[in-house]
Amino acid sequence: MTLLAFAGVLLAREPDVGLREAGDMFRWDHQTEHLVRQRLETMDLPFSYRGNEDEVVYQIRLYLINGRRETERMLGRAQVFFPIFEHNLQQAGLPEDLKYIPVIETGLKTHLRSHAGAHGLWQMTYAAAKFVDLRVSDEVDERYDVYRSTEGAVRMLQFLYRNFEDWSLVLAAYNAGHGKVKTAIRRANCPEYRFIEKYLPSETQQYLVRYVAAAYVGKYYAAHGLEPSPVPARWRTARVLPVRQYLNLYKAAEVAGVSYETLRKLNRGYKKGYLPHTSKTANYLVLPAEGVGPLTAYLAEKNGKSIGGRQEGQVLIKYVVSPGDNMESIARLFQVEPADIRKWNYLKSDRLQAHQELSLFLPKSYLLNRA
């Protein structure tokens, strides 16, 4: 769903919320608009936008006034998904503010499908998904996997930046396609966005406007009195567990002590209700935090591995991966070897995801030194 459609939903639901009900904080007057324009001048974005500022301000008003409640729901979802986006963008060395792309694509709703056949948070078509090595089959559609689709989107953004070396062109290409931007550059005989814009599809011509508006709201919503709405508990405590073996979601729910319905909602990409066996990249299972320990032990036992790995004089601690963490940085933090972390958690690579829970077996002396 594009922001234009998203804005239409907002207008249909709440034609003038804020102007009628919420008092001064939610009024839109000349002073508010002046402040918005001042902030737009100084916003730190991956590209310098000098285009239709009036349209940007209009889109911001849709977010902040007309669609305030829907925006607060979106901001609640952002608290769950932004750490995942930030982690993957940091690992790839890309600007963190690219995390606003799914805001304008879907309003951060995981289940959406466009009329053009684009699916999931990052709205990828079948062709785009296959290009970035996402699985789309009768069993699995990784476009609906928050983690895998983010990895795929990052690969797409890397590819586009290698080709265009300009983030405004990258955003245009993400929306319209690599070929259409190349054609627009040829027609304009110039690689600058301001000169090629008129040769792009009309929706793409609005894409940067919508991106700047979404980024403004993400950075300044609190200054306008908005608060992120609470998200369902299943997402607030969600963890991600890499799994390589076949796993039925009914069995996983039973072992983890959570409902099957919860697991299905957290793992929409597994279309048949199970994780298929994989000898390559692990599947990601998303589940509430309380289920990670029991399910990890169950999977280890099924593989004939000893559960845990604690030795005498050691204590077990749990560590949840945060944006920017990697295997080396966590090993340095806890003064252990990366190989030990892999062994303790049955990992075959150093790849870590945000919200992944790690088991660490540390000497008791380490905890005393940290006390």
128: left (phi over 0), alpha (psi -120 to 50) or beta: alpha
Q: Report d(CA 132, CA 142) in Å as an integer.
A: 11
List, for residues 95-154, the tens digit of each pLDDT value. Answer: 999 999 999 999 999 989 998 899 999 999 999 999 999 999 999 999 999 999 999 999
- Return the pLDDT at 25: 58
Whole-number average pLDDT of the chain:
89
pLDDT of 200 over the 60 cut: yes
Per-residue pLDDT band for 308 (boundaries 50, 70, 90) equals low
* Most confident of the ranges 22-26, 70-74, 311-315: 70-74
Contacts of residue 136, defined as CB under 8 A and 6 or more positions apart, other chains included, come to 126, 129, 130, 142, 143
- Return the pLDDT at 346: 85
Per-residue pLDDT band for 27 (boundaries 50, 70, 90) equals confident
pLDDT of 307 over the 80 cut: no
- Return the pLDDT at 309: 59
- Return the pLDDT at 281: 85
Task: Please name the amino acid found at residue 227.
Answer: E
Nearest to 284 by CA among 322, 326, 252: 252
Per-residue pLDDT band for 56 (boundaries 50, 70, 90) equals very high
Burial degree of 228 (CB within 10 A; 0-12, 13-18, 19+)? middle
pLDDT of 208 over the 60 cut: yes
317 against 305, higher pLDDT:
317
List active site positions. Answer: 105
340, 310 Cβ separation under 8 angstroms: no
Q: For the chain, where are the E strands, in sequence order?
A: 238-243, 247-248, 274-275, 283-288, 314-320, 357-363
Structure-token pair, residue 146: 């928050």
74, 105 Cβ separation under 8 angstroms: no
Q: Report d(CA 177, CA 157) in Å as an integer.
A: 11
70 against 25, higher pLDDT:
70
- Structural domains of the chain, with CATH: 3-224 (1.10.530.10), 233-370 (no CATH)
Q: Report d(CA 1, CA 205) in Å as an integer.
A: 16
pLDDT of 371 over the 80 cut: no
pLDDT of 257 over the 50 cut: yes
As a whole-number percent, the residues of the chain with pLDDT over 70 amount to: 89
pLDDT of 12 over the 60 cut: no
Q: Report d(CA 281, CA 275) in Å as an integer.
A: 12
Place of tokens 């396609």: 177
Place of tokens 């001064």: 24
3, 59 Cβ separation under 8 angstroms: yes
pLDDT of 19 over the 50 cut: no
pLDDT of 83 over the 90 cut: yes
List, for residues 312-365, the tens digit of each pLDDT value. Answer: 678 888 999 999 999 999 999 999 999 999 988 888 889 999 999 999 999 887
- Return the pLDDT at 163: 96
Structure-token pair, residue 181: 């931007």
Q: Report d(CA 287, CA 308) in Å as an integer.
A: 20
**Total-model pTM:** 0.89
347 against 91, higher pLDDT:
91
Q: Report d(CA 65, CA 5) in Å as an integer.
A: 17
Structure-token pair, residue 225: 């009195």
pLDDT of 219 over the 90 cut: yes
Beta bridge partners of 320: 357
3-state secondary structure of 242: strand
Nearest to 305 by CA among 341, 343, 359: 343
pLDDT of 82 over the 80 cut: yes
289, 315 Cβ separation under 8 angstroms: no
List, for residues 142-185, the tens digit of each pLDDT value. Answer: 999 999 999 999 999 999 999 999 999 999 999 999 999 999 99
Q: Report d(CA 283, CA 192) in Å as an integer.
A: 40
